[in-house]
């Protein structure tokens, strides 16, 4: 199975809890280690473009529909 951006718990789906975790990381409330799957480009940050990808993955079951 390939990486699903935003799937913090490797469950095969992005949940609301995963998205909240990513926003908390983007705001500096949590370390990136709380959701390494959210750091799509591996730069050590979670940015709005990565959150947008994760939202799309949440809506499409990570493209595994």
User: Cβ distance 16 to 37 under 8 Å?
Assistant: no
Q: What is the pLDDT of residue 1?
A: 38
pLDDT (average), residues 3-9: 92
Domain ranges of the chain: 16-60
Q: Output the pTM of the full model.
A: 0.90
Q: How does pLDDT run across 14-59, given as a tens digit for each residue?
A: 999 999 999 999 999 999 999 999 999 999 999 999 999 999 999 9
Spell 21-31 as b/e; 16+ CB within 10 A means b: bbbebbeeebe
User: Cβ distance 41 to 5 under 8 Å?
Assistant: no
Closest CA to 60 of 20, 22, 4, 8: 4
């Amino acid at each position: 199975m390939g990486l699903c951006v935003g799937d913090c718990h490797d469950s095969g789906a992005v949940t609301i809890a995963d998205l909240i975790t990513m926003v908390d990381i983007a705001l500096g409330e949590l370390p990136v280690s709380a959701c390494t799957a959210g750091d799509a480009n591996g730069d050590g940050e979670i940015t709005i473009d990565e959150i947008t990808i994760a939202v799309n993955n949440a809506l499409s079951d990570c493209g595994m529909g």
